[in-house]
Amino acid sequence: MTSLSRRALLGSLTSLLPAQTRKKIKITDVRCAIIGQSPVVRIVTDQGISGYGQAETRKVYLRPMVLFYKDYILGEDPTDVERVMMKIRRLGAFKPWGAAVSAIEIALWDIAGQVAGLPVYKLLGGKIRDSVRIYNGGFRPVFKGQEPQHFAEVVQQMKEAPEGFTLIKMPIGFHNPAQLNAMPGQWYDEPRAGAPHGNKGMLTEKGFKRILQSVEAMKKVLGDDVGLALDAGPGWMMKDAVNFCKAVEPLHLAWVEDLLTGDYTPYPNADLYRDLKMQTSVPIHTGEQIYNRANFKDLIEKQAVDVLGPDPEDVGGIAELKWITEYADLHGILMAPHGVFDGLIGLAAHVHMAAAMPQNFVAFEYPYGQPDWWYDIVEGLPNPIVKKGFIDVWDTPGLGVRFRVNAAKARLSPEDRGFFD
């Protein structure tokens, strides 16, 4: 082939590429708005393409953390996701301080997918499943009390929900302060105010029995039709955790989560978790508070737990979580990502991530739009979103969820008025 022919061929191929791929794309701005208590990141580029990421609802304090990273990534090519993340990843920390890094990472993937004209899951290696399993997450009816029958009533409603959940997670013990505070004398300490999940201590016999009876009541309702997982801590002492897990072994639970450390605990304790795991057949789960792959090293390499549950909006993003999942898979550890407060942009990130995760993926925690008007300001999600406990994976470029800008603008505070401009 002559050099002239090669140039002609290259010119023809170039003409087939999307226009935005012919010129290097650059980040020109990083913005953060609080939309209905959800921090939303917008990364703006010089080619008119924006990517969006979201942090957990209620992290209304996150805006300055997001903007802290702005100067590090301006002028970078957002489609070089890993190159950009190398500049900021080391500056994050355990929940809640990895959230800003995570939201930026998700927004970068949104841009990369739009530029390539591909859904994000294609950029993560392609999907191995056409639909992804979810568990209930934020959908929990109001408890009418804290007796075992009230737990049974709640899971009955969840079993009958139109989403068709195949797996339900319920808060018990130290993860459910109302349960422990419903009557005095359930553990050998007093309730702690302040930051979340501050209670810890040895359970009394009365407290131990009430928790166990609540679990038995829920399992009786669900039978073997719907799996039951427990969000139980952190806060349990080792002996109580061992005795509880042994007591529920006949119930075939999906997992027991965060018994010893977890949620807002700024470290994992792999040695303690391994001690617990070695004394029970009940699957042991933790990880939602952990930031960055390096901080999962001990849990994975010591095979200290059976199930890990990082949150893509805290761990460093969706590619970070997929990397951790692949390493966990090599060690026989399952993955059930956390996500209860991740919002609708977070939901899209979960779907793309779960589609491409290896076969140790179980299910992710289904996030809801909070408040409900979030469903009116975005488009691109399936309708209905969940069918028989699963979400079908969509093929729209990027995350595939876009703002209805005029509707979303009406929900902005005066401080965020220019977010979409």
Structural domains of the chain, with CATH: 26-118+407-416 (3.30.390.10), 123-397 (3.20.20.120)
Query: pLDDT class for 48, splitting at 50, 70, 90?
Result: very high
Q: Which residue has the tokens 């069918």?
A: 387
- What pLDDT, on the 0 to 100 scale, is given for residue 22? 58
What pLDDT score does 344 carry?
Answer: 98
CA distance 275 to 24: 52
Instruction: Find residue 131's DSSP bridge partners.
Output: 392
* Nearest partner of 124 among 392, 351, 295, judged by Cα: 351
E-strand ranges in 270-323 read 284-286, 307-308
At residue 7 the predicted structure's pLDDT band, cuts being 50, 70 and 90, is very low
CA distances from 162 to 157, 166, 227, 388 (A): 10, 12, 16, 8
Has residue 82 got a pLDDT over 50?
yes
Instruction: Output the CA torsion sign for 74, 80, 83, 84.
Output: positive
Sequence letter at residue 330: L
| More confident site: 37 or 16 | 37
* 118: pLDDT strictly greater than 90: yes
What number is the average pLDDT over the span 231-251? 98
Encoded tokens for 286: 């933790």
pLDDT tens-digit series, residues 339-367: 999 999 999 999 999 999 999 999 999 99
Q: How confident is the model at residue 21 (pLDDT cuts 50, 70, 90)?
A: very low
Please give the mean pLDDT across all residues of the chain: 94
Pairing type for strands 227-231 and 255-257 reads: parallel
193 or 125, higher pLDDT? 125
Q: What is the rounded average pLDDT of the residues 48-71?
A: 97
- The percentage of the chain sitting over the pLDDT mark of 90, rounded to a whole number, equals 91
CA dihedral 263, 267, 271, 276 (to 10 degrees): -10
pLDDT score recorded for residue 16: 45
Judged against a pLDDT cut of 60, whether residue 401 lies above it is answered with yes
Per-residue pLDDT tens over the stretch 206-238: 999 999 999 999 999 999 999 999 999 999 999
Maximum Cα–Cα distance across the chain: 88
